[in-house]
Amino acid sequence: MLKRFDFFVRLFVIILALLQPYIVYWTLGDIKALSLVWGTPLEPLFITTNALTSYYLFSMKRWELPALCLLLLTAFSLGTYPIIHDVIATCFFVSVIYPLYKTKRLKFVLWIYLLSLLVGYLWGIFWMEVWGIFVMCVYHLFLIIYKKLLNTRKNSN
């Protein structure tokens, strides 16, 4: 029962993280960066999504540094601490490279993730963030579904 609940909590967090940039875009329009949500009515969504995602990532091997960076990113708003925020945001997106590189499955995801740099160059930081978040969410979605299927198969034998 607890494993089933854990699966749905992780699924909820992934879906929330996946939808957040699109909700921001649909509500605020074409902003320069996702962190500009601070001071808008969507600030609680930003804080909640980042906190839940950090909590989720802390539970995974090799994802502790991205989890910490994301949590710190949420603590230091862009408006009040622009330099610290930008450094931590950069550290977050760079720190994701290591766990994607070390993965035994889905090695190609790292290359798709790195394409976010091209997206950022062509369309701006917001769309680079959206690309990176989308890739991370799809990767983690695949992992939890794969793990769920393995556990179901194991329990049925």
Per-residue pLDDT tens for 103-147? 987 889 999 999 999 998 899 999 999 999 999 999 999 999 988
- The torsion angle over the Cα atoms of residues 46, 48, 52 and 58, rounded to 10 degrees, is 70
Regarding predicted confidence, which is higher, 3 or 120?
120
State how far the alpha carbon of 138 is from the alpha carbons of 19, 31, 103, 135, 143, in Å: 12, 23, 14, 5, 9
What are the extents of the domains in the chain?
A: 2-156
Determine the pLDDT at residue 2. 64
Q: Are 139 and 47 in contact (CB under 8 A)?
A: no
Determine the pLDDT at residue 155. 76
Q: Tokens 């603590």 label which residue?
A: 75
The structure's pTM equals: 0.90
pLDDT band at 72 (very low <50, low <70, confident <90, very high): very high
Sign of the four-CA dihedral 71, 76, 126, 49: positive
Beta strands in 3-141 (DSSP E): none
pLDDT in tens, 18-67: 999 999 999 999 899 999 999 999 999 999 999 999 999 999 999 999 99
Indicate whether 150 pLDDT > 80: yes
Q: Are 91 and 69 in contact (CB under 8 A)?
A: yes
